[in-house]
Amino acid sequence: MPEQKLSNLSNLSLEEIEILLPASAKKSIEPGRSLKWLYQRRAVSFEEMTNLAKDFRMKLARLARIGLPEIEAVQTSGDTTKKILFRLEDGLFIESVLIPGKSHWTVCISTQAGCGMGCRFCLTGRDGLKRNLLPSEITGQITMLQQTLPEGPDIKNIVLMGMGEPLANYQNVLKAIEIMTSDYGLGFSNRKITLSTCGLAPMIRQLGDDICINLAVSLNALTMKKKRTDARQQKISSESLLAACRDYPMPGRRMLTFEYILMAGVNDSPADAEKVARLLKGIRCKLNLIAFNEYPVSSFKTPSPETIETFQQMLIRHHYTAMIRTSKGSDILAACGQLSGCKTATEGEITP
């Protein structure tokens, strides 16, 4: 990290900026304007904030700096998905993905450098957790893409499904989401933001109390657990997660999403489909079925299309909404479970 100890403006809420400022500046409208410059006009220096009083800009420059992740490389898939490699201030790398839609783009962002959850089928976690991302590094992925890439202005949806477990970096992720949805921040609707988790029950409850966004929960944590000596503890853990999911607030017509990664010969049998149907009984939800995205050195394989369709039809017969989600960007290791944040894996990419 740089030797300079000034606060990074991109890590601060409006209230924190007001606390940072001298008493004479606290009641001015300038703090809110400065954040609008940062997130909506995407200023990279205080000099650019031309409608702020000069003395206010000078005070802010003595107290804070603007620091964002840098785009190291961009790689484009045959299906037009884009994988973006970011360099953080301490030299670590993370990845984001731009996913094309019919008339807009969805950005999949990271919340940690690496991951400590230990899911055996996920490339991200193979090297473990390096550290949590700061709010500036989470929202900075979005602002840098908006500023730098031609697709940036057409980003309409945000999914926290990249590297890391968002709920294991709770306070930083919560602040980042508040910035994403605030009037002074990125201005996204709560309905356009989805957080994906492998299932940390206490934090799911906390998230439901603190903010209302879409939630996607991986079922693989429940259906692929290694045998434990304490079977009762495993049952309590499963019950607590499902109870937290049942209680999670989803107002209006929205439903909780469960994600299920299908791996050939591991969890793709009719018996596995029946198990999923029993687990989710009574929960208002929909299911995304995701065929495992293969990557070098992985021992898991993608099931056949026929096996996936059979699995889907069994869930439909149990009256679930079950969709087969088409993975995009797998040819550049940008699909679900393939992100690594490894600079050596980006040879041949184009630096913008």
d(CA 117, CA 126): 10
d(CA 40, CA 22): 25
Q: Which CATH number fits domain 7-65: 3.10.580.10, 1.10.287.3510, 1.10.1040.10, 1.10.150.530?
A: 1.10.150.530
Predicted TM-score of the model (pTM) = 0.91
User: Is CATH 3.30.70.3280 the classification given to domain 70-346?
Assistant: no
What confidence category does residue 176 fall into, taking pLDDT thresholds of 50, 70 and 90? Answer: very high
Instruction: List residues bridging with 113 in a β-sheet.
Output: 131
Lowest mean pLDDT among 8-12, 161-165, 195-199, 342-346: 342-346
Q: Is the pLDDT score of 5 beyond 80? A: no
Pairing relationship of beta strands 193-197 and 70-76 according to DSSP bridges: unpaired
The pLDDT of 37-62, averaged and rounded, is 91
Q: Which of 115, 119, 285, 336 is catalytic?
A: 336
DSSP assignment, residue 322? E
Compute the C-alpha angle 85/90/92, nearest 5°.
35
H/E element, 27: none
Give which of 12, 88, 10 is closest to 44, Cα–Cα: 10
Q: Is the pLDDT score of 156 beyond 90? A: yes
Q: Is the pLDDT score of 175 beyond 80? A: yes
What confidence score (pLDDT) does residue 317 get?
Answer: 97
122 is catalytic: no
Instruction: List residues bridging with 287 in a β-sheet.
Output: 258, 322
Task: Give the chain's count of helices (H) and strands (E).
Answer: 11, 14
Q: Is 252 helix (H, G, I), strand (E, B) or coil?
A: coil
Q: What is the pLDDT of residues 98-148, one digit of tens each?
A: 999 999 999 999 999 999 998 888 999 888 999 999 999 999 999 999 999
What confidence score (pLDDT) does residue 351 get?
Answer: 37
Question: Percent of the chain at pLDDT above 90?
Answer: 74
What confidence score (pLDDT) does residue 237 get?
Answer: 78
H/E element, 218: strand 214-218
- Of 118 and 81, which is predicted with more confidence? 81
Give which of 341, 238, 340, 219 is closest to 290, Cα–Cα: 219
Structure tokens at 53: 């009083």
What confidence score (pLDDT) does residue 92 get?
Answer: 97
Give which of 310, 317, 318, 316 is closest to 291, Cα–Cα: 310
The pLDDT of 224-252, averaged and rounded, is 72
Q: Is the pLDDT score of 7 beyond 80? A: yes
d(CA 160, CA 108): 6
What rounded mean pLDDT belongs to the chain?
Answer: 90
The pLDDT of 283-307, averaged and rounded, is 94
Q: Where are the domains of the chain?
A: 7-65, 70-346
What confidence category does residue 229 fall into, taking pLDDT thresholds of 50, 70 and 90? Answer: very low
336 is catalytic: yes
What confidence score (pLDDT) does residue 346 get?
Answer: 43
Q: Which of 72, 95, 137, 165 is catalytic?
A: 95
Instruction: List residues bridging with 7 in a β-sheet.
Output: 64
What confidence score (pLDDT) does residue 330 get?
Answer: 93
Q: Is the pLDDT score of 227 beyond 80? A: no
Cα distances (Å, whole numbers) of residue 202 to 67, 166, 190: 32, 13, 21
What confidence score (pLDDT) does residue 294 get?
Answer: 93
What confidence score (pLDDT) does residue 201 get?
Answer: 93
Burial classification of residue 156, based on how many CB atoms lie within 10 Å of its CB (0-12 exposed, 13-18 middle, 19 or more buried): middle
Lowest mean pLDDT among 16-30, 70-84, 237-251: 16-30
Residues 6+ apart with CB under 8 A from 302: 262, 263, 264, 291, 292, 293, 294
- Of 129 and 220, which is predicted with more confidence? 129
d(CA 345, CA 130): 18
Q: Are 204 and 212 in contact (CB under 8 A)?
A: no
Question: Percent of the chain at pLDDT above 70?
Answer: 90
Q: What is the pLDDT of residues 257-277, one digit of tens each?
A: 999 999 999 999 999 999 999
Residue carrying structure tokens 């018996």: 271
Structure tokens at 9: 């403006």
Structure tokens at 115: 């991951």
d(CA 261, CA 335): 12
The pLDDT of 162-174, averaged and rounded, is 97
